[in-house]
Amino acid sequence: MTASKGQRHQAILALVNRGGVHTQQELAEALARRGLRTTQATISRDIQELGLVRSVSGYRSSAALVRELVLSIELVDPVAVIKTPPGTANLVARRIDEAALAGVAGTVAGDDTIIAVLRRPGAGRALKELLAHVD
């Protein structure tokens, strides 16, 4: 059966949230078992559109992965200092920048630390909510 993009995306997210999908081929096979046949090129586009990233445990939504990567957030107006495991700061900074929060002017990422420049007092709350790191 040919599925709409919305149906396919919903099925992909359900599979990814259950865990254990490590390759596009595994994803295509799992979709086929659900009666959704698609091409590798379409799956590749879907992965990009859904913002999925591949981790050691398989494909994950970038939002879910980012929440796990944020170790701490310290607000020192007008900046927030965000700590992550080594090598992951760019992924988290990209999530912040793509969210385009009105109170965040931008980010600068190193290896395991991000500086987010805040436009106004209180902007840190929205940043913490985005990163699901509410104290």
3-class secondary-structure state, position 79: strand
Q: Phi and psi for 44 in degrees, rounded to 5?
A: -60, -45
Q: Final residue of a domain: which of 65, 80, 97?
A: 65
Residue type, position 92, single letter: V
Q: What's the pLDDT tens digit per position in 63-84?
A: 788 888 899 999 998 999 999 9
Check whether residue 105 and residue 61 sit in a common domain: no
Q: What is the pLDDT, as a whole number, of residue 134?
A: 53
Q: Residue 90: what pLDDT? A: 93
Does residue 76 lie in a domain region?
yes
Query: Can you read off the two tokens belonging to residue 121?
Result: 């007092």
The pLDDT assigned to 43 comes to 94
Residue type, 54: R
Is residue 112 domain-resident? yes
Check residue 8 and give its pLDDT: 92
Tell me how many domains the chain contains.
2
Structure tokens at 46: 């879907």
Q: Please report, for the chain, how many H helices and E strands are present, in that order.
A: 6, 6
**Joined tokens for residue 45:** 């586009």
pTM for this predicted structure: 0.70
Low-confidence ranges of the chain (pLDDT < 70): 1-3, 133-135
Cα separation, 36 vs 17, in Å, equals 18
